[in-house]
Structure 1
Amino acid sequence: MSDDLATLTALIEKPGQPETLFKAFEAATQRLVGHQLFTLLYVDGQEVARIYSNRPGEYPLSGRKTMGPTPWGKHVLEERKPYLGKDKAGIRWAFFDHELIESMGLGSVINIPAIYDGKVVGTINLLAPEHHYREEHVAPVAQLAPVLVPAFLAARAAAGAA
Structure 2
Amino acid sequence: MTAQDFTADLAAFDHAIASEAGPDAPWIALQDLTRKVIGAKLFTTMTVDMASELARRAYTSDPASYPASGTKPIHYDSWFDIVHKQRDNFVANTIEDIAKVFSDYELIDSLGCQSVINIPVEVGGELLGTVNCLDVAGHYTPERVAAAELLKAPARMAFLAAARQG
Please confirm whether the aligned pair reaches a TM-score higher than 0.5, indicating the same fold. Answer: yes
Q: Is the 8 A contact 1:41 1:124 kept in 2?
A: yes
- For residues 79 and 52 of structure 1, the distance between their equivalents in structure 2, rounded to whole angstroms, comes to 24
Query: Pairwise mapping of residues 40-119 of structure 1 onto structure 2 (< 5 A)?
Result: 40-45=45-50, 46-119=53-126
Cross-structure match for 1:123: 130
Give, in angstroms, the shift of residue 63 of structure 1. Answer: 4.1
2:13 maps to 1:8: yes
- For residues 159 and 96 of structure 2, the distance between their equivalents in structure 1, rounded to whole angstroms, comes to 29
* Percent of residue pairs bearing the same amino acid type: 34
Structure 2 stretches of 5 or more lacking a match? 1-5
Q: Is the 8 A contact 1:47 1:68 kept in 2?
A: no
Give the letter aligned to residue 40 of structure 2. H
Count of aligned pairs between the two proteins: 159
Aligned CA distance change for structure 1 residues 150 and 17 (closer, same or farther; 3 Å):
farther
Give, in angstroms, the shift of residue 106 of structure 1. Answer: 1.2
Give, in angstroms, the shift of residue 153 of structure 1. Answer: 4.4
Structure 1 stretches of 5 or more lacking a match? none
TM-score by length of 1: 0.85
Q: Is the 8 A contact 2:45 2:132 kept in 1?
A: yes
TM-score by length of 2: 0.83
